[in-house]
Chain A
Amino acid sequence: MTATTTTTTKALSFDGIGMTFPDGTEALRDVSFSVDRGEFVTVVGPSGCGKSTLLKIASGLLENTEGQVSVDRERIGYVFQDATLLHWRTIQRNVELFAELHGIGKEERRDLAKKAIDMVGLSGFENHYPKSLSGGMKMRASLARTLTLQPPVFLFDEPFGAVDEITREHLNEETQRLFQREGFAGLFITHSISEAVFMSTRVLVMSARPGRIVAEFEVPFEYPRKPGLRFDAAFAELSGQVSAELRGAHS
């Protein structure tokens, strides 16, 4: 494994990451950036450019073929595009899963789960099974499950891609509040520019495969960000710039 924690003080950093799959597909080329605690970085890029691959490398699910990753993987938070709830567990027991895998006692993990369920607004649904929840609610449960770890580094792989627009906006606002409250280092993947600009401190644009970082935008808006920000002129201008870069990245 190429992960080290000594070379940098940043919570998560990529240094010259390259990834070529065994079948010869080059997914990433020379990707370097870092995310510190209190930063929320979003990567946007065309489909298939290697965004998920980057998160898999960060989490250790995949091993990069070039470069160095540095991150503490002990309590890394990683939310997938699918909620991946275990069908046979109630929401409460699903949210307890990670604490359970880390050997935390019954009482303590019940409290942890309870708090996390409160945080995502799912109180009252503890004893429901996933099959009776909507897509947005499942995603909240998935977020809650990761929150129980109180992760210093939080990876999101298009978590809200499958929910409707209004629900997505709610979830964006909540994610932003969670970020403010927990102060983790956030790395978020999305296709939605408004989602990216709304939540992040920084937006990175990735090129088509092999993925490289081609543009970087600082997002200056103060937290907490209000829903109305989306109709702000400055918001629209920044979104327009990101969009232009993204269009360039497609070709």
Chain B
Amino acid sequence: MTTQQAAETGAIESPLVGGADPSTMNAGSIRLKSRRRLAAETILPPMVMGGIFISFWYLISYGVLDERRRFLLRPPHQVLKVGFLDWDNFSEILDGLVSSTKVAMIGLGISIMIGFFLATLMSQAKVVERAIFPFMVTLQAIPILAIVPLISFWWGTGQRSRVVVCIIISLFPIIVNTLFGLQSAERGMHDLFTLHQASRVTRLRKLMFPAALPAIFAGLRISAGLSVIGAIVGDFFFGLGDVGIGQLLRKYANNLWGEQLLAAVIMSSALGVTVFLIFGWIQNAAIGKWHDTSDSGI
């Protein structure tokens, strides 16, 4: 076929089958117009909900609790004043947060390495998967409280044990999602690689791993959140050394410092949300171009 013929048939074809024809991209401008409304629709509901929440908070602080019992739930402006605007208090919370973040990231990093390694191993042969998987499920099922004594025997009561708790809590979703992802490449795609005599490593690198990325990111987002929880929980049990937000929570609770306690709770949850958002952003930057996140719900 000549290039001209190709151009002709291409030109005839595009309007018929061309979902991707550049001319159809005009639809975007229609969407632009209602962008303001869309913003209002997405921002307004949570703001209203937040307003209701804060009113309810005041109602309980002043309406339900009498003066003597108000330490149970300090009103929002008090929390803001003592917990956030008093720099001594707030910087203590920030320091704790930084320390916990460090533990969470180290734990998550190690989880990712172990998780990728085990999932890759399991993806290579069903036998390996059958051998390892039950133990992963068992490990996952152990309540963390039950192995706290063991962890402290082996790793002491410092940062190392906090990291271990982090790993135990965040490992499973990474393994499961990565394995699921590695197994998600279609049969036909595997056939292509078989036809062209691709080696095991090539198949893994050029087919299975890229196909696994959406699932891997889904797992990472879950595990990142869990690693933050793991760091805080670890803090509760293992308080030696450079303590994190968990130890602060414990201290504030013991001293009935309600304002700081609530401020620390809010900042912990802010940390969790931030980590979740950061991984969502990385996911979007890495695979957003080719993967429809909304399609698969991950």
Contact = CB atoms under 8 A, between A and B. Distances in A.
A90 B211 CA distance: 14
Interface stretch (B9-17, B105-113, B146-154, B161-169): B9-17
B267 interface: no
A133 B45 CA distance: 36
B13 A136 contact: yes
A122 B19 CA distance: 13
Interface residues of A, number: 44
A131 B291 CA distance: 8
Contact of B9 (A86, A173, A181): A173
Tell me if B's interface is mostly helix, strand, loop or mixed.
helix
A250 interface: no
A133 B14 CA distance: 10
Contacts of B16: 136, 164, 166-167
19 contacts: A61-B191, A61-B194, A78-B195, A80-B188, A80-B191, A84-B191, A84-B192, A86-B189, A100-B206, A101-B196, A101-B206, A121-B9, A125-B20, A129-B290, A132-B19, A136-B16, A136-B17, A137-B13, A181-B1
Contacts of A121: 6-7, 9-10, 13
Given A128-B20, A137-B18, A86 B13 contact: no
Interface string A96-122: 011011100000000000000011111
Interface in A163-198: 163-164, 166-167, 170, 173-174, 177-178, 181
A97 B193 CA distance: 9
Interface residues on B, range: 35 or more
Interface of B: 1, 3, 5-7, 9-10, 12-13, 16-20, 186, 188-189, 191-198, 202, 206-207, 210-211, 213, 287, 289-292
Given A61-B191, A101-B206, 19 more contacts: A59-B195, A80-B191, A84-B192, A86-B211, A87-B290, A87-B291, A88-B210, A97-B192, A101-B193, A101-B202, A119-B6, A120-B6, A121-B13, A122-B10, A132-B19, A134-B17, A134-B18, A134-B19, A163-B17
A87 B291 CA distance: 7
Nearest to A128: B20
A138 B165 CA distance: 48
User: Among A80, A98, A101, A123, which residue has the most Cβ atoms of chain B within 10 A?
Assistant: A101
A164 B13 CA distance: 11
Contacts of A166: 16
Contacts of A26: none
Contacts of A167: 13, 16-17
A91 to B, nearest CB: 10
A135 interface: yes
A177 B4 CA distance: 13
Nearest to A133: B20
B20 A174 contact: no
A133 B19 contact: yes
B194 A84 contact: no
A76 interface: yes
Given A98-B196, A131-B292, A136-B13, A84 B188 contact: yes
A210 interface: no
Contacts of B188: 80, 82, 84
